[in-house]
Structure 1
Amino acid sequence: MIAKTKLCCAVLIMGSMLIQILLPVQASSTINIQSAKVAVDDRNSRTQRAATRQALTQLLIKFTGQGDISSYQALKTISEDANRYLRAYRYTEENGQLYFVAEFDRQQLETVLKRERLPIWGDRRPDALLWLATENDKGERRITGDGQVNEFAITARREAEVRGVPLTFPLMDLDDAARINAFDVWGLFPRQLNLASARYNVDFVLGARIYRNRTRDFVLPGTDYATNTSGLEPETSAVTQSDFIEPRLEQPLQQAESVQEALLALPEGHITPVALDDGPLFTQEEFSTLAARAKKGRYSLDFFYVPFNGASSEVVHGTLIGDEPNELITQLINRYADHLGQTYAILPGDANSEQRIELSVGNLHDLRGYVAVQQYLEALSVTESVTLVRQQGTVSTFSLHLLGSEKDLRAVLSLDNRLQPLRDAFGQPLEGMHYFWSQ
């Protein structure tokens, strides 16, 4: 056991000289989970009390990673007693609108959430890049760039701020134009969008396309209406495959990088890719599905999100349907935020289920480095307490009392580049919890 410990420490010490070369830098941002602002009409006491409750509700949504907190009675109780957690408040005015800005006691809120065993999500959040393609009435397709101030971008940024998830759009400068075009984004191919996202150093890549659903029913040429089992009758003459453009493939299926990518470009419900010479691209069943979609709402939003350079099994995709495109954007951001909350928020267990693990950190050359690491570990949402148990050269070993699991700890650490895992020659993390301090 002693020999094994010495070996690990030696490897940590030697690896500290190579960390900047071998390990990739992870991207993430720190968000504000201590204050919130609410639009108000005046400054009277009744308005202030209501605004305080509303501000704390907003903050709890960020704090827990839960879009709908109405099902948590404990959270409703906390919001109703909002003044108990209020530390300070002020008023500010922006573009003629008065806002109430409240600052709450984060430590006290964390204590209550832990006691009630409610989800806790720290202030370190994954960065994301959204590739959004839209189509106007003339059939022209555009990619929403970071410098644009259109309604879709405003809605996405506002909802991302409400949910506490960092989100940006591509610059769409000459570098982006050389790597990708509107047809690539419209095709929603994860590999192409991942490659184009590399320059942005993000943790997640999102792709989406918004289009207007056809308002008439569809039928394939030559269909016998009497035998049409879908029950749909065309309002006008039959349309050909070329008349229909939503959604369509912009590239041959053979060029798709995987079955998963091919599926994303097919109509909702399609589960098997087809070759281009296999006959009609859309069957009568698919036309009926598209017609039924149009009856559900005027617009559709097809989307996917995936960790940067993630495997095809990690791709989450789907279709949202509704009458208002901005509402679909809001739903997309909320789905993505809920996914992150499920992945990174910690659900504290009871005392018997909490874990203690040891974590070794190399590259600590002085007392200042050791103190910085201990404070960093203590501030993580997944840790209850941190204790130094061994010190050998530039390697410190800490005992961590966790609120969650080792998997939760690894997920939280992956969002920050200050602690990076020691890896083998193949780039895989070594067995155990062995890290470098990179500051």
Structure 2
Amino acid sequence: MIKTVTILPRFHLILLLSLWVLGSAHAGEVDGLYSGKVAVADQSTRTQSDAIRQGLEDVFIKVSGNSTLLSDPQIKLQLKQAKSYLRNYRFEQTPEQLYLAVNFDQDKVDKQLRDSGYRIWDRRRPETILWLAIKEPNGERQLVSENSHFELLASAQNAAQRRGIEIVQPLLDLDDMQNINIYDIWGGFVHQLAQASSRYGVDSVLSARIYRLDNTESEQNIDIQWQADWTLLENGSTISGTVAGVDQAQVVVELINSLSDTLASKYAIDFSLLDPNAQRTVITINNLASLRQYGEILTFFRSLSVVNSANLVSQTGQVAQFELSLLGNVDNLMDAIALDSRLSPVNRFEADKQNLEYFWKQ
């Protein structure tokens, strides 16, 4: 979903921004992963059945982070039995539309995804700021904003909600314009994108240029008329790609799908790759000065989908060691920790997977 943000006073940077600064942001926690709302025409039994199936499709996609699993024969079979996953449902009427709100059983959904070989992506997910530039058919290049392209951003919002990810829309105010311009976004210039995004406190940055294909390219596939070249900055790394579609709206939807697929490939847990001999690790936390902070760090660890259990095993002064039983591997754990601003590694530049050590920010 597209979020509005509150901006803190602008800080003047003394040193050049490096990409790892983005890793200090606090991840969003996405609600409603196991529920959905489907537009319906009436309250008939057939309509209810179709809407429940559509709701389960959306939940499978949101929870797995995988946009292609609906073609899986095992998943198709389960979709025919969608009502068996249902916890409750209700109709909701707005002035414009009737909806069926559905809520599914989390344990059953997770088990089916694991049994079918798919990942599980928990509710703690990176927040991404979206910088878009578009070249209109008349040749004019514009920044995409609510004022200039409201419907495009609505398409992005709907796609992000369906995929269960958080998107932040830049304000494009004077501060933004001092840090970035349309050519920085069009060229995907990493430093300018990172600098302009730092004020928003996000975990990742997505920029894209959207343009109409020329006649020669579009004639090869009449269904493909528009294209977007994108660049993603995420936790110190840069990834790029291309999506296409019949119109601008479809391109934006495919852009959000690519973003979600890319993030899920990193943060969702692949249970098929679990190593039984590497499911426990000890992590050292510095700067714990009160019982409240011990409780906070234990609550944090236990909230991570990669962590099966967490227990305090030793404590000396303000330094404590916790033993974690993992459902994934140490890389999964480190990726999850990197999304929370309260924990920072003792050695930011050379991680030691055998001796994990962090500071807890009070």
Q: TM-score w.r.t. structure 1 length?
A: 0.69
Tell me if structure 1 keeps the 8 A contact 2:244–2:254: no
2:103 is matched with 103
Q: 1:94 Cα deviation (Å)?
A: 3.4
2:298 is matched with 374
Q: 1:140 Cα deviation (Å)?
A: 2.0
1:58 is matched with 58
What is the CA–CA distance in structure 2 between the aligned matches of 1:348 and 1:395, rounded to whole Å? 32
Unmatched segments (≥5 aa) in structure 2: 1-20
Q: 1:139 Cα deviation (Å)?
A: 2.3
The superposition leaves residues 241-284 of structure 1 with CA deviations (integer Å, 9 ceiling, x where unpaired) of xxxxxxxxxxxxxxxxxxxxxxxxxxxxxxxxxxxxxxxxxxxx
1:414 is matched with 338
Q: 1:203 Cα deviation (Å)?
A: 2.0
What is the CA–CA distance in structure 2 between the aligned matches of 1:413 and 1:23, rounded to whole Å? 14
1:87 is matched with 87
Structure 2 SS opposite 1:196: helix
Tell me if structure 1 keeps the 8 A contact 2:60–2:113: no
The superposition leaves residues 62-89 of structure 1 with CA deviations (integer Å, 9 ceiling, x where unpaired) of 1011011124444344434333433332
Bigger shift: residues 347-356 or 149-158: 347-356
- Which of 323, 329, 345 is the equivalent residue of 2:268? 345
Distance change in 2, residues 1:27/1:54 (3 Å): same
Tell me if structure 2 keeps the 8 A contact 1:120–1:345: yes
* Alpha-carbon RMSD: 2.8
What is the CA–CA distance in structure 1 between the aligned matches of 2:192 and 2:134, rounded to whole Å? 18
Tell me if structure 1 keeps the 8 A contact 2:24–2:203: no
Unmatched segments (≥5 aa) in structure 1: 1-21, 216-290
Which protein shows a greater Rg? 1
Bigger shift: residues 46-55 or 33-42: 46-55
Distance change in 2, residues 1:112/1:187 (3 Å): closer
Letter in 2 for 1:306: L
Letter in 2 for 1:25: S
What is the CA–CA distance in structure 2 between the aligned matches of 1:191 and 1:387, rounded to whole Å? 41
2:157 is matched with 157
Tell me if structure 2 keeps the 8 A contact 1:209–1:302: yes
Distance change in 2, residues 1:411/1:309 (3 Å): closer
Q: 1:23 Cα deviation (Å)?
A: 11
Bigger shift: residues 411-420 or 181-190: 181-190
The superposition leaves residues 356-389 of structure 1 with CA deviations (integer Å, 9 ceiling, x where unpaired) of 1111223333433323322321221112222332
Tell me if structure 1 keeps the 8 A contact 2:22–2:235: no
Please state if 1:296 is matched with 2:221: yes
Q: 1:342 Cα deviation (Å)?
A: 0.9
Tell me if structure 2 keeps the 8 A contact 1:65–1:120: yes
Q: 1:131 Cα deviation (Å)?
A: 1.5
What is the CA–CA distance in structure 2 between the aligned matches of 1:150 and 1:65, rounded to whole Å? 26
2:188 is matched with 188
1:324 is matched with 247
2:68 is matched with 68
1:28 is matched with 27
Bigger shift: residues 381-390 or 126-135: 381-390
What is the CA–CA distance in structure 2 between the aligned matches of 1:130 and 1:408, rounded to whole Å? 25
Tell me if structure 2 keeps the 8 A contact 1:382–1:404: yes
What is the CA–CA distance in structure 2 between the aligned matches of 1:112 and 1:322, rounded to whole Å? 32
What is the CA–CA distance in structure 2 between the aligned matches of 1:387 and 1:400, rounded to whole Å? 7
Q: 1:338 Cα deviation (Å)?
A: 0.9
- Which of 302, 306, 321 is the equivalent residue of 2:232? 306
- Which of 276, 300, 307 is the equivalent residue of 1:383? 307
Structure 2 SS opposite 1:205: strand
Letter in 1 for 2:328: G
Distance change in 2, residues 1:84/1:388 (3 Å): farther
Q: 1:409 Cα deviation (Å)?
A: 0.8
What is the CA–CA distance in structure 1 between the aligned matches of 2:350 and 2:345, rounded to whole Å? 9
Q: Say how many residue pairs are matched.
A: 338
- Which of 396, 401, 405 is the equivalent residue of 2:320? 396
Distance change in 2, residues 1:133/1:95 (3 Å): farther
What is the CA–CA distance in structure 2 between the aligned matches of 1:123 and 1:112, rounded to whole Å? 18
2:202 is matched with 202
Structure 1 SS opposite 2:79: helix
Q: 1:353 Cα deviation (Å)?
A: 5.7
What is the CA–CA distance in structure 1 between the aligned matches of 2:252 and 2:287, rounded to whole Å? 44
2:41 is matched with 41
Choose between structure 1 and 2: higher strand proportion: 2
Letter in 1 for 2:55: A
Distance change in 2, residues 1:94/1:363 (3 Å): farther
Letter in 2 for 1:92: E
- Which of 333, 341, 360 is the equivalent residue of 2:284? 360
What is the CA–CA distance in structure 1 between the aligned matches of 2:321 and 2:117, rounded to whole Å? 29
Tell me if structure 1 keeps the 8 A contact 2:228–2:255: no
2:8 is matched with none
1:279 is matched with none
Letter in 1 for 2:221: K
Letter in 2 for 1:301: Q
